[in-house]
Amino acid sequence: MTRTELEVLCRNFPGAIETLMGAPSNVLVYSVGGKNFAYFKTSEPEKWRFSFRVTPERFVELTDVPGVKPARYMGRFHWVTVVEVHRFPADYLAELVTWSYRKAFNSLTRVRRAEIGGQPSAR
């Protein structure tokens, strides 16, 4: 999966918003209802590294994989960073990002979820 394909995936979730944060953070953030579910770093070092939230079990599993590490400042909340997106299996990455989106979406109030129009799903 390329970085562009991953951006399209994140953009196409119901209610997803893309926000480019300028200096000093230089981050492209994807959120739903004000809850972040993914982000890209847009400057060096590690330009275009991609971060998202995972389950505690997957956090342990993924941080043992070369090229995946705990996300800077967010690792304690079970966020991981994939340094080279193109080396990660596309289907697996899409599954992980979808879970991160659902986690953010399901944390919204019932009213807010209804406004967005997405369907609540399994966590």
- Consecutive H or E run containing 80: strand 79-82
Instruction: Report residues of the chain scoring pLDDT below 70.
Output: 118-123
Q: What's 32's domain CATH number?
A: 3.90.1150.30
Q: Closest Cα to residue 53, out of 32, 84, 23?
A: 32
pLDDT for 45 equals 81
Total of domains in the chain? 1
Residue 46 in any domain: the answer is yes
Whole-model pTM: value is: 0.88
- DSSP run (H or E) holding 62: helix 56-62
Q: Which structural domain, as residue segments, surrounds residue 74? A: 3-116
* Cα–Cα distance measured from residue 105 to residue 17, given in angstroms and rounded to the nearest whole number: 12
Cα gap 6→48, rounded to integer Å: 11
Q: pLDDT tens digits, residue range 6-22? A: 999 999 999 999 999 98
Per the domain annotation, does 48 fall within a domain?
yes
